[in-house]
Amino acid sequence: MAKAKEQKYTPRSDGRYHTRIRTGEHDDNGRAISIPLYAASSAKLEKLIIDTKVDLKNGTYKKPDEVTVESYAEKWLKTYKSNKSTNTKQMYAWIVKGHIIPKIGTKRLVDVTHSDIQWIINDMGSKRRTCEQIMLTLRQIIKAAIRDDIIKKSPCEDIELPAKTKSEKRALTDKEVEAMKKCDFTEKESAFVGLLYYFGLRREEVIALMRNDFDFEKKTLTISRAIVFDVNKAVVKDTKSQAGKRELVIPDAFLSEIQSYISTIDGLYLFTKSDGGLISKVAFRLLFDAIRNKINAKMGGNEKIKATDLTAYTFRHNYCTLLYYSGISTKKAAELMGHKDIQMIMRIYAHLDEQKEKTEEKINTMFDKKIAL
């Protein structure tokens, strides 16, 4: 049996691996100047040592007090986020390159103050979610810089974020449903709308569907994969969680329509680019924009007047609402929608219960005076 490779370095009490390497220079007292290095594992420390020695040799090494926010943030992305999921990598890269570097990229890390961070947040206005992502990213970058002994204290404490605004997740309106019935959709558009409406699928689940996911004899649809976008390129991956893998009944109202659409496609995937390749982010946007524009037009809107703010998620919320009014239990609803637990369903059902109670209360108030019949 082969022996496990011995670790060259041992971890400190805080779990980090540490060593020092000499720069080849000496201080005024003739003592050799050395650089402290830290890493999360022995192997990463060895790589850091090699990279630092190369930088010293090439004259590109920067002392801790010379490191800029831009250089450190980009290094942090490569070191800590390169193995994350596509969506996670994109989010962090977007925050770093779109919000942090343009604001304070040229500053030295040691010079970043609490006021600098607050200025970034204030400049975002009321975009609470983006501010939360900026702070999530900055806290991790600063924490790593403290571990690397570049800075001593975090400037991220007690940053004030904009007030939360309650986002209203909604179902389809009656006008939207009526408009959909009148729309002259293409077969592709109609199939896409039907998959959102009749199954409450996530966008990434719809665009990942293949023809063999449908069993027309059993009248079932199997959800087993998703597609996310790496910039514009489609990447096939597992569903959001294990619960996302599920088998759904195809409603009779949609059966012939989806059979007809699948008979018109040549490839494996239901929704592709014009050349037959996996759908791109741009191609998806063009598809959904065409659907929304047709619904908008039937509601009396045009290019300048938007009668609807419809999104793919609106259909998913609508499906959950239909489950509620059909008397489907929270447990079964979670199963049908691919949630790993019932918490999200319970929140939606509780909101619908509250709306129902308010309606009943208003009706009773309208007829609080009994009349003799």
Query: Read out DSSP for 92-147?
Result: HHHHIIIIIHHHHTTSBGGG--HHHHHHHHHTTTT-HHHHHHHHHHHHHHHHHHHH
Asked if pLDDT for residue 5 goes beyond 60, the answer is: no
Per-residue pLDDT of 205-234, as tens digits, reads: 999 999 999 999 999 999 999 999 988 889
- Average pLDDT of span 89-111: 94
Domains parsed from the chain with CATH numbers: 17-58 (no CATH), 69-148 (1.10.150.130), 174-356 (1.10.443.10)
Dist. CA 6–CA 227, nearest whole Å = 41
What are the CA-CA distances from residue 125 to residues 91, 118, 128 (Å)? 19, 11, 8
CA angle 203, 209, 311 (to 5 degrees): 15
- Confidence class for position 368, pLDDT limits 50, 70, 90: low
Dist. CA 178–CA 23, nearest whole Å = 73
Question: Please, are residues 292 and 301 in contact by the beta-carbon 8 Å criterion?
Answer: no
Per-residue pLDDT of 275-292, as tens digits, reads: 888 999 999 999 999 999
Higher pLDDT residue, 362 or 119? 119
Amino acid sitting at position 248: L
Dist. CA 366–CA 344, nearest whole Å = 34
Higher pLDDT residue, 297 or 303? 297
Say which DSSP state 64 is in: G
Asked if pLDDT for residue 4 goes beyond 50, the answer is: no
The pTM score is 0.65
Dist. CA 315–CA 51, nearest whole Å = 51
